Amino acid sequence: MTALYIPAIASVAAAIVTAILRNLGMEKGRFAAKMASSMLFCLTAFWAAAQREEMNAQAALMLGALVLGMVGDVVLGLDLFVDEKYRRFIFVLGGAPFFLGHLLYIVLLLSYGDVQWHLIALLPIVPMFFLLLNRFELIKLDRLMLPLAVYGLVLGAMMLATLSLSARGGQLGRWMRFPGILFAVSDASLFMNMFGQGPLKKMRPVLSFTVMVPYYAAQGMFALAVGWL
């Protein structure tokens, strides 16, 4: 099982390279590194599945969610290869697999029935964050405000689901402490990077890292968890 950490760590390392290449404007290299990151966390997941004695519904759903994440990575990675007027379309198109993947994560994690209802206060945190940024004109969402608020609720549900499962303890519980939070950090950074105005535009080199590293760390944790679901 220890060998599984190698592709998971390599996925995060490739994500760091992706952020560096994006900041350098080396888009072909950035896209290749991002695809390598995604393939590595999928490799981790399928390797973990191969080591199981038998599959169950939770592990199968986790594999499906990870594959959807890779599909979303491919589509979103095309953003700077298309005309600027199509970039919002690419963003929405690439966001759809992520949305479905998040729903799969939530369903499988909550299927264990260990919901910590006091954590329900996490649900509105991300939408409120977007609303505040929009209110102070740090981001400009226009017609995307409602769909991103809904997406934010899903991210809150992810945090609720992962932290609830972490309360079980054990190996699986330890891995579930962080992925939901890391997803929220990554996606919030993505939206700030794409729609940021004023001071947030100057932060784009930093946001490149806060988008990529938390996301691939979270996917790596979910991939490793396939072995314990």
pLDDT tens, the chain, 229 aa long? 678 899 999 999 999 999 999 999 999 999 999 999 999 999 999 999 999 888 898 899 999 999 999 999 888 888 778 887 777 788 788 888 988 999 999 998 988 877 888 889 999 999 999 888 888 888 887 777 888 888 899 999 999 999 999 988 778 888 888 999 999 999 999 889 888 888 888 899 999 999 999 999 999 999 999 988 8
Q: Are 183 and 158 in contact (CB under 8 A)?
A: yes
Nearest to 45 by CA among 33, 61, 31, 30: 61
Token pair of 94, please?
A: 């690439």
Task: Tell how far CA 4 is from the center of its chain.
Answer: 20
pLDDT computed for residue 15 by the predictor: 97
pLDDT computed for residue 1 by the predictor: 63
Q: Which residues of 36-69 are buried (b: 16+ CB within 10 A; e: fewer)?
A: bbbebbbbbbebbbeeeeeeeebbebbbebbbbb
pLDDT computed for residue 92 by the predictor: 81
Residues near 184 by beta carbon (within 8 Å), at least 6 away in sequence? 125, 126, 155, 156, 158, 159
Nearest to 148 by CA among 171, 172, 132, 165: 132
Q: Are 97 and 72 in contact (CB under 8 A)?
A: yes
**What is the Cβ-side half-sphere exposure of residue 186, based on CA atoms within 13 angstroms?**
22
